[in-house]
Structure 1
């Protein structure tokens, strides 16, 4: 039985190259492609791949981080492998929190990528060696500084989305339209976010989002 893979990346040439590489393997096949996070979720739910190879940085509002959280909520049985240029522990924390099973850099060797797909398909986590070292060092540094690393992790995936849009300056109405929520629901999410993060004002929330690297998308 072949490992069925869905590729989500906003660059056509990247998708083509990955498709050629994966289809050249006897035990793998690409069953679909997506150009952004929304399409990735839609096609994954439709095609039911074994593994989604998800680019992290796709168009704003529909990036791989948000798509990963939505897909894992809707279809937890689908494994997600994040493909990104960012060798950054903060990104790693966030993609693992969103439910990804692995993380590999775009400049990794072809064999590393194929091994990563096989690993997550088998139900195991795959972390690119350099990223693993960075994650451990960052975790130990946070602990030594006494940071409450569970604070952000207390937020649900939807609350993390709302937090990001609030920090970017969007109104409750605009956020509701973007996420297909009522204004009242957005207000409830915002109240829960402020409570969990122990923040009282919008400027405090924006500063918090900046320190977490949430504004770079």
Structure 2
């Protein structure tokens, strides 16, 4: 019997994951549902858990990927499956680099999620090839380059154009040009509209602790 710990702070998703587990009692046993990824680290140290089904952005904005990495390092036999609605490419890259055994997105059906769970438990690493695209006014998000997305991420985190330029090895004028190109290409009137759209669509997440 596979013992499953659910880490999710949204009530509706808690109920959904509990339904998946309870509806397959011949395979899975529900250990507990918690809202805080950091609490999962403590539970895995005290209780037998085979699979952690975890969101990225949990209670207090605690980082499910950071918690997943700590769990995997301390308990290599525990499988960590990240299930998220965040399409930020950095989330997928971090998950692949050692913070999770697998990652999948929430807007998929029961059978697809269960298939990812089973494959993960069999030892497979299951990840999408790329993050999904979203509409940003006139364009799809894949029309913004990874370098431009990183500039936008750094700006949202509070860095100035000159600080971004220094970090990314380019000129301040180059950073300004990239912002103007993103704003113009997407058809926004100012960078504030671009930032709002990127955050609302979950293309970028900068609040994880």
Indicate the residue corresponding to 1:215 in structure 2: 206
The Cα offsets for residues 3-22 of structure 1, whole Å up to 9 and x where unpaired, read as 21110001233212211221
Indicate the residue corresponding to 1:124 in structure 2: 124
Matched, 1:6 2:5: yes
Paired with 2:74 and 2:109, the residues of 1 have a C-alpha distance of: 31
Indicate the residue corresponding to 1:39 in structure 2: 39
The Cα offsets for residues 133-189 of structure 1, whole Å up to 9 and x where unpaired, read as 459xx9xx98xx9xxxxxxxxxxxxxxxxxx9xx779xxxxxxxxxxxxxxxxxxxx
Indicate the residue corresponding to 2:95 in structure 1: 95
Indicate the residue corresponding to 2:74 in structure 1: 74
CA contact (8 A) 1:33 1:40 kept: no
Indicate the residue corresponding to 1:24 in structure 2: 23
The Cα offsets for residues 49-69 of structure 1, whole Å up to 9 and x where unpaired, read as 111001011135622011112
SS in 1 for 2:65: helix
Deviation at 1:86, TM superposition (A): 2.1
Query: What's the C-alpha RMSD, in Å, of the aligned pairs?
Result: 3.1
- State the aligned residue count: 151
Indicate the residue corresponding to 1:152 in structure 2: none
Deviation at 1:98, TM superposition (A): 3.4
SS in 2 for 1:126: coil
SS in 2 for 1:87: coil
Q: Structure 2: which 5+ runs fail to align?
A: 133-141, 148-153, 169-203
Deviation at 1:89, TM superposition (A): 2.9
1:129-208 correspondence runs (5 A): 131-134=128-131, 203=163
TM-score, L = length of structure 1: 0.59
SS in 2 for 1:132: coil
CA contact (8 A) 1:168 1:215 kept: no
SS in 1 for 2:77: coil
Deviation at 1:214, TM superposition (A): 7.0
CA contact (8 A) 1:22 1:114 kept: no
Distance 1:62 1:87, change over 3 A: closer
Paired with 2:14 and 2:73, the residues of 1 have a C-alpha distance of: 25
Indicate the residue corresponding to 1:15 in structure 2: 14
CA contact (8 A) 1:48 1:78 kept: no
TM-score, L = length of structure 2: 0.62
Deviation at 1:39, TM superposition (A): 0.9
